[in-house]
């Protein structure tokens, strides 16, 4: 692949510079998003068999968003409560999270990431970043910068689109808010 063109999955040369109408961009982006989601799905399937795959999502929520109930954690991660309960039990046993009484409702408990949990989350993030560093190493610094800039813009626009398209409290609004965080 030369620096003047980008090759799509059909090995058709796509010019690096140019313009596209909104409809043309939507068609091309739609195709690339489907391809990206397939690759992401395949990666997630492999990750299901890795040690600690399920806890990464839960730890990320607890580290980034703070203490919360298991029911809220299940809702925020779109996971079944029984799955979250199993993961929570395992993480409590291993000292990654702790249960504390909910000050607003003493019958309930809040889950908190421990120092060991934060360290585990940071280790997962470092591994992800190392994998992406290896992937992006051959890219030019300008291309890496533009990728981040454009992905951030796309994500921001997708969140805004979802929030304005659906009423607050709907499943789609909740999913959009999950995507709103830039620090995962």
pLDDT for 38-61, tens place per residue? Answer: 988 787 777 666 656 678 889 999
pLDDT digits (tens, 9 = 90+) for 99-108: 999 888 888 8
Largest CA distance in the chain: 63
Does the pTM exceed 0.75?
Answer: no
**Which residues, other chains included, contact 2 with Cβ-Cβ below 8 Å and sequence gap of 6+?**
none
Q: How far apart are CA 92 and CA 94, in angstroms?
A: 5
pLDDT digits (tens, 9 = 90+) for 137-153: 999 999 999 999 999 99
């Amino acid at each position: 692949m030369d620096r003047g063109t980008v090759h799509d999955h059909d090995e058709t040369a796509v010019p690096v510079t140019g313009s596209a109408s909104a409809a043309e961009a939507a068609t091309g982006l739609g195709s690339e998003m489907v391809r990206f989601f397939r690759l992401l799905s395949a990666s997630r399937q492999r990750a299901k068999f890795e040690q600690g795959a399920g806890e990464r999502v839960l730890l990320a929520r607890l580290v980034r968003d703070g203490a919360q109930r298991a029911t809220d954690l299940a809702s925020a991660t779109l996971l079944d409560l029984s799955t979250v309960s199993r993961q929570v039990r395992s993480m409590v046993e291993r000292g990654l999270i702790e249960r504390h009484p909910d000050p607003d409702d003493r019958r309930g408990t809040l889950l908190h990431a421990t120092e060991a949990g934060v360290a585990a989350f940071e280790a997962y993030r470092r591994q992800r970043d190392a994998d992406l560093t290896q992937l992006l190493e051959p890219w030019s610094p300008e291309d890496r910068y533009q990728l981040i800039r454009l992905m951030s813009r796309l994500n921001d626009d997708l969140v805004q689109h979802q929030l304005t398209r659906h009423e607050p409290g709907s499943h789609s609004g909740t999913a959009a808010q999950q995507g709103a965080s830039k620090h995962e």
